[in-house]
Chains A and B, each alone.
Chain A
Amino acid sequence: GESVGLHLPTLSVQEGDNSIINCAYSNSASDYFIWYKQESGKGPQFIIDIRSNMDKRQGQRVTVLLNKTVKHLSLQIAATQPGDSAVYFCAENIGGAQKLVFGQGTRLTINP
């Protein structure tokens, strides 16, 4: 399959452990953020989103934290599974604009 991100930051965790992926966003006017998962040769898959009027949002096994003061976003994945191995991107959007601006991505590898 296609290798995405030859020089991406990488994170390796043991299966069953929790993982935290971090993202620094660029624009203080951004008010909507999305985390995407991208498996080899596939398109970005929505994981979870958060609006700027929130600090935390939880999904199934995933939590997104937003710190607007330092323009930092994190994705926590609990009880990681082999299927969580992928590249994870954060994306930001400024209200009224059409586009998403993607971060560089982090390659997460789950070790058995």
Chain B
Amino acid sequence: EPEVTQTPSHQVTQMGQEVILRCVPISNHLYFYWYRQILGQKVEFLVSFYNNEISEKSEIFDDQFSVERPDGSNFTLKIRSTKLEDSAMYFCASSALVTNYGYTFGSGTRLTVV
């Protein structure tokens, strides 16, 4: 069964450092997403990406965040200067041509900012 792959599974970083979280979406999917889940809270939408541009973003997704599809397979989330409150699980997801069809999540990257 096709799956969304995320690396690394766990990242520890110093406050103020830049981090890049990586994702390989399902190959025939065209919509890509990032979500986060702070410990003990619900999953929250960050951003969606289609046709090489951001199509929707939440209030959480401020200027410290950026996304990129550097090649035909990877989708990345960059946090420029991490804060303690950025500590969370970050989930990548992708869906097929028809929006939300086959919406599939990766296993997540646990980001710990110290």
Task: Identify the A interface with B (CB < 8 A).
Answer: 2-7, 32, 34, 36, 41-46, 89, 91, 93, 96-105
CB distance from B45 to the nearest CB of A (A): 4
Q: List 9 A-B contacts (CB under 8 A).
A: A3-B40, A32-B100, A43-B4, A43-B107, A44-B43, A89-B42, A91-B43, A99-B48, A104-B42
How many of B's residues come within 8 Å of A, CB to CB?
29
In the complex, which residues of chain B have a beta carbon less than 8 angstroms from the beta carbon of A5?
Answer: 40-42
B window 73-114: CB within 8 A of A: 89, 91, 99-100, 103-108, 110
In the complex, which residues of chain A have a beta carbon less than 8 angstroms from the beta carbon of B4?
Answer: 43
Q: How far is the CA of A4 from the CA of B110 in the complex (A)?
A: 13
In the complex, which residues of chain A have a beta carbon less than 8 angstroms from the beta carbon of B45?
Answer: 99-101
CB distance from B89 to the nearest CB of A (A): 7
B105 touches A45 (CB 8 A): yes
Q: Which of B39, B58, B99, B100 contacts A4 (CB 8 A)?
A: B39
Q: How far is the CA of A2 from the CA of B35 in the complex (A)?
A: 17
In the complex, which residues of chain B have a beta carbon less than 8 angstroms from the beta carbon of A32?
Answer: 100
A3 touches B39 (CB 8 A): yes
CB distance from B3 to the nearest CB of A (A): 10
A4 touches B37 (CB 8 A): yes
Q: How far is the CA of A105 from the CA of B37 in the complex (A)?
A: 12
Task: Identify the B interface with A (CB < 8 A).
Answer: 4, 6, 31, 33, 35, 37, 39-45, 48, 50, 55-56, 58, 89, 91, 99-100, 103-108, 110
Q: How far is the CA of A102 from the CA of B45 in the complex (A)?
A: 9
In the complex, which residues of chain A have a beta carbon less than 8 angstroms from the beta carbon of B105?
Answer: 36, 43-46
Asked if A43 meets B103 with Cβ closer than 8 Å, knowing A5-B40, A98-B56, A103-B42, the reply is no
Q: How far is the CA of A93 from the CA of B101 in the complex (A)?
A: 11
Question: What 6 A-B pairs are tightest by C-beta distance, nearest first?
Answer: A98-B48, A99-B45, A43-B105, A98-B56, A6-B40, A102-B43
B109 closest partner in A (C-beta)? A43
